[in-house]
Structure 1
Amino acid sequence: MLKRIMIVLVLTVVVFSFAAPKYVLKFNHVLSPREPYHEAFLKWAKAVEERTNGELKIEVYHSAQLGVEEDILEQMRLGANVGQNTDSARMGMYVKDIAVLNAPYVIDYLGATTPEQVIDVLRKLKQTPTMQKWLTELEEKYGFKVISFMWVQGYRHFITNKPITRPADLSGLRIRTPGAPIWQESVRALGAQPVAVNFGEIYSAVQTKAIDGAELTYANVMGGSLYEVLKYVSETGHILLINFEVVSAKWFKSLPKEYQQILVEEADKAGIEVSLKIMKEINAQMKEEVKKKGMIIVENVNKDVFRKAAEEAYKKLGLQTARNTLIREIKQVK
């Protein structure tokens, strides 16, 4: 009897040792589980787990379940096994010039108009000397490892209770945007008063009239049920939201080289897949959904006037040189 018990205990230990992952990444994002990004993160996690035979596991936390982004980023700098879906605007608070990727209409300057061209531009950007320099500085000086920036969440538009066709229409309106300087100055340059509010608080902030609207993607509108409190989507398309998947550089270096490569490869793969789907299918679907919810789409936006106004944001933050350098370098990448 004792022998049988010992065998069962040994087998239990063996099974547990095979089942328990050696490395765990707790990955945080602020979006709702209804948004396409959440499903894409789960696919990334599954692919990584399968390719590493369960030794590297990604636990995905939606709706900022692990905490606010600023706190997660600080944990990364200390080497914690956490990750965050963020953007170049946030990274620009450490390496200033990288924020240019979230500057208004920058994707137009880089020559991308179709979904395929956007992905091609991002691939080329990764190879430019300037982008490599910024990424290296983030990693070596600040402790952030950018796993991938092949994640495009779509074009951002102004979501308000009045139609917007030109910058003057935004005058006096308090528009929610993230607190990073490039977001704040972009919204200000385009004519509105920027207000930093966490994504999950936008609904209540509109209800209490703390803000008059926000600038978001169609998926964000649906994910946050903002059609219940806001009436118009004005298609300014002022920012193509390029997201960064970031982890602790210290934690990343603790992984075997093979697992580092798998983590990056699968992040890029999942990002490209969901980005193309968003730009080619989901954006149109979400647009129809917000229409069904009673929102009015304003399509007759004077984008030329908005582009001209946006130049003030580049000047204010000194990002004209960074933008022009990327334009030049990207043309040299085959």
Structure 2
Amino acid sequence: MSRRLLLILVLGVFLVSAVFGAKYTLRFGHVLAPGEPYHQAFLKWAKAVEEKTNGDVRIEVFPSSQLGVEEDIIEQIRMGAPVGWNTDSARLGMYVKDIGVMNLAYFIDFMGAKTPEEAIEVLKKIKQSPTMQKWLKELEQRFGIKVLSFYWVQGYRHFVTNKPIRKPEDLNGLRIRTPGAPAWQESIRSLGAIPVAVNFGEIYTAVQTRAVDGAELTYANVYNGGLYEVLKYMSETGHFLLINFEIVSADWFNSLPKEYQKIIEEEMDKAGIEVSLKIMKELEEEYKQKCIEKGMAVIPASEIDKEAFMEKAKQAYKNLGLENALNQLIKEVKGE
């Protein structure tokens, strides 16, 4: 099926919805399972929006990639279809290169955030910065992508291997699974490991067959994937803090009454902050204990040479031509 035909079918669904239901309907999708905290937070956002617009705006949330693959969804968004998606800055960096800086190793640490609360405050400052406003404007006006919020954080990612990792040199020669996007690949390479792109669902087998020596994941990923059965150590490097972007069609969004636009954005921010703090402060510790109970050994952050890792991470920014973007945000956020 061609993308144009797919768009026509999607628009047809919404015409029917407009006749028999809400004045404005949005189908919002993501790749996570229905039981994930994010899905529940999206449902909460949808309910709040419907209530505050007196039923005029209806948001239907679809988990587990039910709406399709990300590339096709973003294409629909750009063409004006009333759909939305949970993505990240690496993906948006394919349109506005510099925005991809937020997906590189230790980005939030370079911004000066040391706690979950500080991370959220930094994101708020970034949103108001002239540089970010310029990027968001370009995404909207040139590519038709409206960013509703980027206060959605999925927690810190650490190295999970069969040897303890305390300094960059400990990663030398290790084949580490990470997503295939350049931001991830270059970051892992800069930290000292050999990045290997393996599908998320194939990590367990890849470790068993020694296609990889480990991965970089959250505690929840490790526990839910049963990786404690094949990997012994979780080293709390905290190199990535995955920051998600919630996007919709700029054409669709701008067709709404101004008061509805405000409600949609404010409620999205509110839901994102709430679930992000819960993930970083409560769920990470909960899954950490579950991994320990399954026999994993944890190398705590206090034993990690974080300064050495952060110094190594700078090479990825240089290789991807994102040094200036990083430095400009640091200057605007910190007032330096």
TM tier, smaller: 0.7 to 0.9
CA contact (8 A) 1:35 1:220 kept: no
* Cα deviation 1:35-69 (Å, max 9, x = unaligned): 32222112111111221222322222222222332
Q: Sort the Cα spacing of 1:59 and 1:108 in 2 relative to 1 into closer, same or farther, 3 A.
A: same
Give the greater-gyration-radius structure (CA).
1
Secondary structure in structure 2 of the residue aligned to 1:149: strand
For residues 205 and 220 of structure 1, what CA distance do their matches in structure 2 show? 15
Secondary structure of residue in 2 paired with 1:287: helix
Shift of 1:226: 3.3
> Offset of 1:171 from its aligned partner?
2.6
Please, which runs of 5 or more residues in structure 2 have no aligned partner? 1-16
Moved over 6 A (4+): 16-19
- 1:171-320 superposed matches below 5 A: 171-299=172-300, 300-320=303-323
Q: How far did 1:183 drift?
A: 1.1
Q: Which residue of 2 aligns with 1:101?
A: 102
Find the aligned partners of 2:181 and 2:285 in 1 and give their Cα distance.
29
Q: Which moved more, 1:207-216 or 1:261-270?
A: 207-216
The alpha carbon displacement at 1:17 in A equals: 8.4
Aligned-residue CA RMSD in angstroms?
A: 2.2
Normalised by the length of structure 1, the TM-score is 0.87
1:59: which partner in 2? Answer: 60
Q: For the Cα contact (< 8 Å) 2:18–2:25, is it kept in 1?
A: no
Superposed displacement of residue 126, structure 1: 0.8
Match of 1:322 among 315, 325, 333: 325
Contact 2:148-2:248 at 8 Å conserved across structures: yes
What is the alpha-carbon distance in structure 2 between the residues aligned to residue 250 and residue 295 of structure 1? 49
Structure 2 length normalisation: TM-score? 0.87
1:206 CA displacement? 3.8
The alpha-carbon distance between structure 1 residues 230 and 36, as it changes in their structure 2 partners (threshold 3 A), is farther
Partner Cα separation in structure 1 for residue 242 and residue 281 of structure 2 = 15
C-alpha distance in 2 between matches for 1:33 and 1:202: 21
Quick one: percent identity of the two aligned structures? Answer: 68
Does the CA contact (< 8 Å) of 1:19 and 1:54 recur in 2? no
Gaps of 5+ in 1: 1-15
* Distance in 2 of aligned mates of 1:285 and 1:19: 44
Q: Contact 1:144–1:249 (CA<8 Å) still a contact in 2?
A: yes
Q: For residues 83 and 247 of structure 1, what CA distance do their matches in structure 2 show?
A: 4
Instruction: Measure, in 1, the Cα distance between the counterparts of 2:332 and 2:63.
Output: 36
SS, match of residue 271 in structure 2: helix
Per-residue deviation, 1:18: 9.4
Secondary structure at the counterpart of residue 112 of structure 1 = coil
